[in-house]
Amino acid sequence: MNSNPEGHGNAQASIPSRLESRASRWRRPMGYLLAALGAAYAWSVMSAPIDSTQGIIQKILYIHPPLAYGAYLGFVITGVGGVLFLARQREDLDRLAVASAEVGVIFCTLMLVTGPIWARGTWGVWWSWDARLTVTLLLWFVYLAYLLLRSFSGSSPRTARFAAIYGVVGLVLIPLNYYVIEIFGSRSMHPENLERGSLGDGMGLPFLLGNLTLALAFFYLLILRWEVEAQRRLDDASTSSGA
């Protein structure tokens, strides 16, 4: 694909770009690496010591924060993709923003599922309108609305531009979500954000492997979803041109 602006609804413009093609070549080796890393991750979690206070439920630590980081990453890439799309009018960048938002919502959903499980085991309740929980739920709704907008409004230039701006504006919730504990202090039920030395003996390796594994899983799913989005738009364009 050349560097000229891509027209929505044009079959030729929907063909995967060089950027997408290069990313696709990495998907297979990433899959093999993900399988190996996932096995090491599972072993490290099973071998990690059981917390003396929380018990075995504490092992959700090795998946819950990494899921949060994956959600943040997905929404940040959505915003960056939106900015680049507005600047360059390249449809592959719009497809990247859509794909990243979808993967980010998946990670955010899993974070919202694992959080209450951990809360039930430590706080004794499934859900509390804790500051971070509330902002996380709001973040989930914002990017779910982004996906609904793209799903029901198609891929017209106007929709893509509006969604790009919307995706960028939604980014303000990410630093708020991260620092809300410090803002509310003791009024937040969540513990403080993890810092150097926060983890006990034997917890560092599984936490590190959890972050690496889920980050790799994120990029694997992102590339796969990017490919699917490119093919979907190509099919839509071919159907429209043949009508």
CB of 131 closer than 8 Å to CB of 67: no
Would 134 be classed as within a structural domain? yes
- Mean pLDDT, rounded, for 140-148: 95
Q: What is the pLDDT of residue 5?
A: 42
Would 8 be classed as within a structural domain? no
CB of 216 closer than 8 Å to CB of 74: no
**Rg of the chain, C-alpha, whole Å:** 20
Q: CA–CA separation, 82 vs 73, rounded Å?
A: 14
37-72, pLDDT tens digit by residue? Answer: 999 999 999 998 887 778 888 889 899 999 999 999
Closest by alpha carbon to 230, among 87, 29, 23? 23
Q: What is the pLDDT of residue 186?
A: 52
Query: CATH no. for residue 205?
Result: 1.20.120
Query: In the beta sheet, which residues pair with residue 51?
Result: 55
Would 7 be classed as within a structural domain? no
Question: What is the CA angle 75-76-81, rounded to 5?
Answer: 100
Would 4 be classed as within a structural domain? no
Would 11 be classed as within a structural domain? no
- Mean pLDDT, rounded, for 19-47: 89
Cα distance between the two ends of the chain: 25
Would 6 be classed as within a structural domain? no
> Scanning the structure block, which residue is given the tokens 């799913």?
221
Average pLDDT, whole number, for the chain?
83
- Mean pLDDT, rounded, for 207-227: 94
CB of 81 closer than 8 Å to CB of 229: no
What pTM value is reported for the model? 0.83
pLDDT at 182 over 60: yes
Structural domain harbouring 92: 17-49+56-238
Would 200 be classed as within a structural domain? yes
CB of 209 closer than 8 Å to CB of 38: no
**Residue 1 binned pLDDT confidence (cut-offs 50, 70, 90):** very low
State how many domains the chain has: 1
Q: CA–CA separation, 37 vs 40, rounded Å?
A: 5
3 state SS of 16? coil
66-114, pLDDT tens digit by residue? Answer: 999 999 999 999 999 999 999 998 888 999 999 999 999 999 999 999 9
